[in-house]
């Protein structure tokens, strides 16, 4: 008699999510803050032989070995030119029992923004400079779009390990599309 009735919450009333915004090659990108562990100054990175160009190497983060990915190179652009504002954003990905910590090199970190679901458009089918499956949506902020990244796909461990098996540190052209 007293059955629980649940109704889906419309997107317009769903809670806004927080995103860390950063720039890469003059474009604004964002990732959900839930996946961001910390932001560190760009420092000593140990190169690892036979890795794709997008993998800069590894860093020692409080005793843990953390791989560092150059997002610009991952998206098919030239490698990030290191400046005094270049940062490494430490991202934690994974399911319940399997966590992966990866650093991403970005030009500059901007700010943390709240974006309501009503201000997020679906990813474009074409026209972006990065693979469409890397984009989870387009956030509208003050009349401009911010590319919301799906870090699970961008930093797919399976795909990155496939790249490292390729001869000669070359990213396949299909990944830069």
Predicted confidence (pLDDT) per residue in 19-37, tens digit: 999 999 889 999 999 999 9
Structural domain contains residue 85? yes
- What average pLDDT score do residues 63-83 get? 91
Q: Return the CA Rg of the chain.
A: 18
Q: What is the percent of the chain with per-residue pLDDT over 70, rounded to a whole number?
A: 76
Q: What is the pLDDT, as a whole number, of residue 124?
A: 76
Closest C-alpha among 22, 17, 18 to residue 110: 22
Structural domain contains residue 141? yes
C-beta separation of 151 from 35 below 8 A: yes
Q: What is the pLDDT, as a whole number, of residue 69?
A: 94
Say what the pTM is.
0.78
Structural domain contains residue 5? no
Q: Are strands 64-70 and 55-61 parallel, antiparallel or unpaired?
A: antiparallel
Tokens of 154: 């961008």
Tokens of 136: 């989870």
Structural domain contains residue 58? yes
Q: What is the pLDDT, as a whole number, of residue 128?
A: 59
- The rounded distance, in Å, linking the Cα atoms of 93 and 65 is 15
Structural domain contains residue 6? no
C-beta separation of 66 from 57 below 8 A: no
Q: Please give the order of strands across the beta sheet that includes 55-61.
A: 36-41, 87-94, 99-106, 64-70, 55-61
* CATH code where residue 114 lies: 2.40.50.180
Q: Are strands 87-94 and 36-41 parallel, antiparallel or unpaired?
A: antiparallel
pLDDT interval class at 167 (50, 70, 90):
very low
- What average pLDDT score do residues 73-93 get? 92
Q: For the chain, what is the domain count?
A: 1
Give yes or no for residue 116 having a pLDDT over 60: yes
Q: What is the pLDDT, as a whole number, of residue 58?
A: 95
- Higher confidence at residue 77 or residue 13? 77
Range of the domain at 114: 16-176
Question: Could you give the dihedral angle defined by the CA atoms of residues 5, 11, 16 and 18, in that order, rounded to the nearest 10 degrees?
Answer: 110
């Amino acid at each position: 008699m007293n059955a629980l009735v649940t109704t889906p919450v419309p997107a317009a009333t769903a809670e806004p999510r927080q995103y860390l915004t950063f720039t890469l090659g003059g474009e604004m990108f964002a990732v959900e803050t839930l996946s961001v562990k910390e932001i560190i100054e760009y420092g000593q990175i140990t190169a690892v032989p036979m890795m794709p160009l997008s993998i800069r190497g590894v860093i020692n983060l409080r005793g843990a070995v953390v791989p560092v990915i150059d997002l610009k190179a991952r998206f098919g652009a030239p490698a990030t030119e290191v400046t005094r504002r270049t940062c490494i954003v430490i991202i934690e990905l994974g399911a319940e029992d399997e966590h992966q910590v990866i650093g991403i090199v970005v030009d500059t970190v901007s700010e943390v923004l709240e974006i309501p679901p009503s201000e997020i458009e679906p990813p474009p089918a074409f026209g972006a400079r990065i693979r469409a499956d890397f984009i989870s949506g387009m956030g509208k902020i003050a009349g401009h779009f911010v590319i919301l990244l799906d870090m699970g796909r961008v930093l797919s461990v399976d795909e990155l390990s496939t790249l490292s098996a390729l001869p000669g540190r070359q990213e396949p052209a299909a990944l830069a599309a």
